[in-house]
Amino acid sequence: MKEGPDIAHIAALIGDPARANMLTALMGGKALTVSELAEEAGVTIQTASSHLSKLDQGGLLRPRKQGRHKYFSLASDDVAHVLEGLMGLAAGSGHLRKRTGPKDTELRKARVCYNHLAGDMGTQLFDSLMAQGHLALVGDDLNLTESGAKFAAGFQIDLDGLRSNRTPLCRECLDWSERRSHLAGSLGRAFLSRFEEMSWAKRDQKTRVVTFSMVGAREFEKLFAIG
């Protein structure tokens, strides 16, 4: 008898095209209703409800009720991490769902990966923090260094609050478009939140595109320059 985790079950849940479209839509970090997810998947609300029930039972979703509506979001950072990795594999194998266009260019520049910054600017953030010695790899673990803690505190990020959460502070996430790492974990989420708080960047809830203002882009380049 075979023992261990049943990856085939999880793969089958993700592998259905309609369910894959729903999960991808939730990578923006925003909770969506059944009707919104049905539209994303191109199926009826009844069919969408059936798919969502299976994803919920499989531990991939977190359902919440508010008033008359039921909202769904990804169950955890782990789910988002797996989905981003699968997107990278699909893109690397040439399996793209549509031809590239303007939105594709914008997504590759900067986008939300569940709750942190991804795309070219996401990998630049990661590479810069590594180059400045603010992040360091110890074996397979990504750690915030002493200088990194000072840098984050100077950027008005509450590290004590982040460390009190169960979410890992620092985590590598393989960027599907860049095929390199960007910063995930609670610190990655905090950086994106600060960019938004300072009006450097704004996310498009429908497309996951993150648009930096002229001032924001300039300040980002100064703070996270490479080389």
Give per-residue pLDDT as tens, 198-217.
999 999 877 889 999 999 99
pLDDT for the residue 170: 94
Closest alpha carbon to 170 in 149, 197, 195:
149
What are the distances in angstroms from CA 116 to CA 16, 44, 186, 193, 222? 26, 31, 8, 8, 20
Q: CATH 1.10.10.10 spans which residues of the chain? A: 7-75
Q: Which residue has the tokens 């708080």?
A: 197
pLDDT for the residue 227: 67
| 141-145, 171-175, 216-220: range with lowest mean pLDDT | 171-175
What does pTM read for this prediction?
0.71
Task: Dump pLDDT digits (tens) for 35-44.
Answer: 999 998 999 9
Fold of the domain spanning 7-75? Arc Repressor Mutant, subunit A (1.10.10)
